[in-house]
Amino acid sequence: MSDIDRKSKVVVIGSTGLIGAQVVRWLTAGARAERYQVLGVTHQTSPGLDLEAPASIAAFFDAHRGVDHVIVAAGAARFGGFDALDAGAFEVGLRSKLMGQVNVAMAALRTLPRGGSVTLTSGELSRAPIPGSAAVALVNGALDSFVRAIALDAPAERRVNVVSPGWISETRARMGLDPGHGVPARDVARLYLTALEGDLHGQVVTAATAG
Ligand SMILES: NC(=O)c1ccc[n+]([C@@H]2O[C@H](COP(=O)([O-])OP(=O)(O)OC[C@H]3O[C@@H](n4cnc5c(N)ncnc54)[C@H](OP(=O)(O)O)[C@@H]3O)[C@@H](O)[C@H]2O)c1
């Protein structure tokens, strides 16, 4: 039985980004507007948090005890070919996209009520790398492994999943690549609803998982 019988409060970290803004659109459209109260958070909002600053993550969850669901659609990692992959290049993804999201998940899982969920973001480069993606693929794979494992230790009736998007069409267009080979951000954003609303736990959510 869920503790959540009022309007559920959803924190979307990265709410102004390509994916995050579409997640917020889904959560605030139609009948979902009656079910969810959305708090969009970035490192420029107030309240906000910086994925790269663990103290800001801890402070946010200390100050926001009524949160039911947390979605993270943020986190940086560095693309670069072999010669560009020095320690600093790897460190960007480890500090931001990996440990930023791990720290959010751990803080959230400690405070969410029964029925609550955490949804993180990795990416398909862990499964289908391209040249120059090693530092990103490393982080994506680590996030997928983390979610599968922490699901075994998470407090009862709190779920944790990770959405693993393919290339977003809009991102490809910005890079001068054919957007037709990508997935629209709005379609990717639906995967976060699947994770939040379904009963998935410890899953890497892709278009194939979501069906
Ligand atoms: N786009 C793609 O093709 C694609 C594909 C697979 C996976 N992904 C992953 O999906 C996630 C989101 O990608 P996106 O393309 O939507 O990114 P985006 O458009 O660049 O948006 C990033 C969001 O995160 C916020 N943010 C940036 N730095 C932050 C920090 N240190 N702490 C808290 N919030 C921060 C940004 O807001 P502020 O700058 O205002 O803080 C913004 O709201 C990333 O992890 C990315 O690796 C993206």
Give the sheet arrangement for strand 117-121, strand by strand. 36-41, 8-13, 69-72, 117-121, 159-163, 204-205
Q: Is residue 150 part of a domain?
A: yes
User: Going by CA atoms, what residue is nearest to atom 34 of ligand 1?
Assistant: 42
Residue 81: Cβ within 10 Å count: 10
Q: Is residue 30 part of a domain?
A: yes
What's the gap in Å between 95 CA and the centre of ligand 1?
14
pLDDT tens per residue, range 97-119: 999 999 999 999 999 999 999 99
Count of domains for the chain: 1
- d(CA 59, CA 76) in angstroms, rounded, equals 21
Q: What is the CATH number of the domain that holds 137?
A: 3.40.50.720
Q: Is residue 141 part of a domain?
A: yes
For residues 51 and 104, the answer to whether their CB atoms sit within 8 Å is yes
Element spanning 100, H or E: helix 99-111
DSSP state of 205: E
What's the gap in Å between 92 CA and the centre of ligand 1?
13
Q: Is residue 94 part of a domain?
A: yes
- d(CA 161, CA 177) in angstroms, rounded, equals 30
User: Going by CA atoms, what residue is nearest to atom 5 of ligand 1?
Assistant: 167
User: Going by CA atoms, what residue is nearest to atom 2 of ligand 1?
Assistant: 168
Q: Is residue 2 part of a domain?
A: no
pLDDT at 210 over 80: no
Cα dihedral sign, 117-17-7-190: negative
Domain that holds residue 157: 8-205
Which residues have CB under 8 Å from 173's CB, separation 6+?
A: 179, 182
pLDDT at 211 over 80: no
pLDDT tens per residue, range 161-179: 999 999 999 999 999 999 9
pLDDT tens per residue, range 12-59: 999 999 999 999 999 999 999 999 999 999 999 999 999 999 999 999
User: Going by CA atoms, what residue is nearest to atom 20 of ligand 1?
Assistant: 17
pLDDT at 3 over 80: no
Q: Is residue 23 part of a domain?
A: yes
Q: How confident is the model at residue 1 (pLDDT cuts 50, 70, 90)?
A: very low
Q: Is residue 70 part of a domain?
A: yes
Which residues have CB under 8 Å from 97's CB, separation 6+?
A: 51, 75, 76, 77, 121, 136, 139, 143
What's the gap in Å between 200 CA and the centre of ligand 1?
23
pLDDT at 5 over 80: no
What's the gap in Å between 2 CA and the centre of ligand 1?
31
**Pocket lined around ligand 1, Cβ cut-off 6 Å:** 13-20, 42-44, 49-52, 73-75, 77, 96-97, 121, 123, 165, 167-168, 171
Which residues have CB under 8 Å from 21's CB, separation 6+?
A: 15, 185
What's the gap in Å between 192 CA and the centre of ligand 1?
14
Q: Is residue 1 part of a domain?
A: no
Among residues 29, 47, 30, 51, the alpha carbon closest in space to that of 39 is found at 47
Residue 44: Cβ within 10 Å count: 8
Predicted local confidence at residue 2, as pLDDT: 54
Ligand 1 mutation pick, 11, 19, 127, max ligand atoms within 8 A of CB: 19
Q: Work out the mean pLDDT of the chain and round it to a whole number.
A: 95
Residue 185: Cβ within 10 Å count: 21
Q: Which residue did the predictor score with more confidence, 126 or 4?
A: 126
